[in-house]
Amino acid sequence: MFSLLQEAATTAVETTEGVAVVVDETHAAGAHVPTPGVELVGHAEEAAGLPQLDIATFGNQIFWLVVTLVVLYLVLSRVALPRIAAVLSDRQGAVTGDLMAAEEFKHKAREAEAAYDKALADARHEAQAIVAQNRAEIQAQLDAAIAKADAEIAARTAESETRIREIRASAETDARQVARDVTAELVTAFGGRTDDAAVGAAVDGRMKGALQ
């Protein structure tokens, strides 16, 4: 590529010189060189050598470049940069604010969760207390009922025992009377005389141990 350019440059210089000899001074800086014999096909301008090295255009380029750079610098530093910096810091602020808000919400959520847990624990505790209380009441009622029933049973038992004792006592008395009567009759039947006291002692002596 470089050799091509170099060749081009030398050719251009030769051509320019040739033209300058033939055509006279029709061109100022070699930028616009009408060459006889070669048709210009849609090209308004033809490069003579490397256009970058055409010093005649340097002043023009530098002047407009400086104008452009100054304008661009002023617009960017006065308008664009403060605006972008403001937008970026706004965004930074918004992001930081949002993060802090999120942190706060998280905190609140944690607090709410703690409150909920506490309420749940309290409710459970209360429920347990109520259950225990109910259980105690029922137990007390049950105990009372059992005690009452026991007392009744005891009373009934005692009554029954009394009656049994009475029955037994009356039965003993009856048996003794019957035995005395039968003994007295037997003694009478065998022609003996009845001595109530003796019969009673004899019957008592026999019955001792039998009726116990």
Partner 1 sequence: MATEATGGGLEFHPMDQFVVSPLFGAGEVHWYTPTNVTLWLALTALASIALLVLGTRGRAIVPNRAQSMAEMAYGLVHKMIEDIAGKDGLQYFPYVLTLFMFVVFANLLGLIPMAFTVTSHIAVTGVLALAVFFGVTIIGFVKNGAHFLDLFWVRSAPLAVRPILAVIEVISYFVRPLSLSIRLAGNMIAGHAVIKVFAGFAAIAAVAPVAIIAVVGMYAFEVLVAFVQAYVFTILTCVYLKDALHPSH
Binding interface with partner 1 (CB under 8 A): 1, 4-5, 7-9, 11-12, 15, 28-29, 31-33, 35, 38-39, 41, 43-54, 56-69, 71-73, 75-77, 79-81, 83-84, 86-88, 90-91, 94
Cβ distance to partner 1 smaller for residue 21 or 38: 38
> Quick check: helix, strand or coil at residue 113?
helix
Query: Least distance to partner 1 from the beta carbon of 85, Å?
Result: 8
Query: Least distance to partner 1 from the beta carbon of 131, Å?
Result: 57
End-to-end CA distance of the chain: 150
Query: Least distance to partner 1 from the beta carbon of 20, Å?
Result: 14
Cβ distance to partner 1 smaller for residue 33 or 203: 33
> Quick check: helix, strand or coil at residue 209?
coil
What Rg do the C-alpha atoms of the chain give, in angstroms? 71
- What sign does the CA torsion over 25, 27, 33, 34 have? negative
Cβ distance to partner 1 smaller for residue 52 or 212: 52
Query: Least distance to partner 1 from the beta carbon of 83, Å?
Result: 5
Contacting residues for 30 by C-beta, under 8 A, at least 6 apart: 16, 48, 49, 54, 56
